[in-house]
Amino acid sequence: MGMLDGKVAIITGAGRGLGREEALLFAKEGCNLVVNDLGAGFDGSGAETKVADEIVKDCENLGAKAIANYDSVTDFNKAKAMIDQAVSEFGKLDILVNNAGILRDRMLFNMTEQEFDDVVAVHLKGTFNMTRHAAAYFRTTVKANESLGNFGRVINTASDAGLTGNLGQTNYGAAKAGIAAFTMNASMELKKYATVNCIVPLARTRLTVDATPQTAEFMKKLDKSGYDIFNPVNVAPMVAFLASDKASKINGEVFRVVGDRIMLFQGWHTVHQINNDHKPFTPQLIAERINELIKAAPKKENLFGLLGDLV
């Protein structure tokens, strides 16, 4: 008896890395799947249908029903067709995992408009495209049968590059921060029909090893016990949990998942304030007092500091 028995899920970018591990665990837990993967390189170039086809076979070998989809999440109409494909093939849709992603790393002063647009299109617009059409389906379904409650599940994928920052990734970081904010807003709008949550994985994938040399060395390391912290298989259980009926009361949350740790993020919030006794500040007075504000704030998290602590 699996935690996702009888469910139907779409997982985007399911051909490799995190998406692959998510698809395989979902299949083990009894979920039928639309395996979406363009089969492109980590920078979004090229296409290869066999990437999705191989995962479909792996899922079928685990006893699940699975079909492949090779479309890009950047296309609004093809995203709708993906939702329709799931419903046509399996009779319904319960779960959407937005995982597809690419990288075009570049320092800001060298980044091209195309490098910015392409990364935002896959991550942020792709998350919108898929969630928008899934949301319409969930809403229509619940309106037809209110006893279903908030049966739908959306799990988005953000990154520390967007929430704590990283060099060379203003495009990727902006998109990933946008996904966290998108999650928060969408969770409010869809709470009658679906939960919307977000994970921030730290795992060894093409995006963190092949495309990001500055993190590659860390990702190969084991902790003191010999545990492979950055194996992407470690992230999938949290995604499967959030996709399950057990997570019906968890909504609008952002979780960092790495190794044997699950951490709850809290977004932009006030950490300290200064006031001027009911009188407007002047620029000169702000200059005198700004350190009161800055020094009282907790120390910002740092991605490489976190990686160092883990290993």
Q: What is the pLDDT of residues 117-158, one digit of tens each?
A: 999 999 999 999 999 999 999 999 999 999 999 999 999 999
- Using only the alpha carbons of the chain, give its radius of gyration: 21
Distance CA 213, CA 303 (A): 14
Question: Active-site residue 70, yes or no?
Answer: no
* Residue among 17, 37, 29 nearest 62 (CA): 29
Q: What is the pTM of this model?
A: 0.92
The pLDDT-based confidence of 159 (bands split at 50, 70, 90) is very high
Domains, the chain, with CATH or none: 8-268 (3.40.50.720), 271-311 (no CATH)
100 neighbors 36 (Cβ within 8 angstroms): yes
Task: Point out the catalytic residue in the list 176, 187, 193, 244.
Answer: 176
- pLDDT mean over 68-74: 96
User: What ranges in 29-169 are assigned the alpha helix state H?
Assistant: 50-61, 76-90, 113-120, 126-144, 160-163
The pLDDT-based confidence of 26 (bands split at 50, 70, 90) is very high
- pLDDT mean over 39-52: 66
* Residue among 9, 201, 6, 195 nearest 96 (CA): 9
* Among the ranges given (175-184, 214-223, 234-243), the one the predictor scored with the smallest mean pLDDT: 214-223
Six-digit token pair at 201?
Answer: 């994985």
Task: Point out the catalytic residue in the list 70, 137, 172, 193.
Answer: 172
Nearest-10 Cα torsion for 109, 204, 180, 42? 50
Question: Active-site residue 78, yes or no?
Answer: no
The helix-helix angle for 113-120 and 170-189 (nearest 10°) equals: 30
234 neighbors 257 (Cβ within 8 angstroms): yes
Question: Active-site residue 193, yes or no?
Answer: no
Task: Point out the catalytic residue in the list 159, 187, 193, 244.
Answer: 159
Pick the more confident residue, 204 or 87: 87
Supply the pLDDT for residue 225: 84
Distance CA 129, CA 194 (A): 16
Supply the pLDDT for residue 43: 56
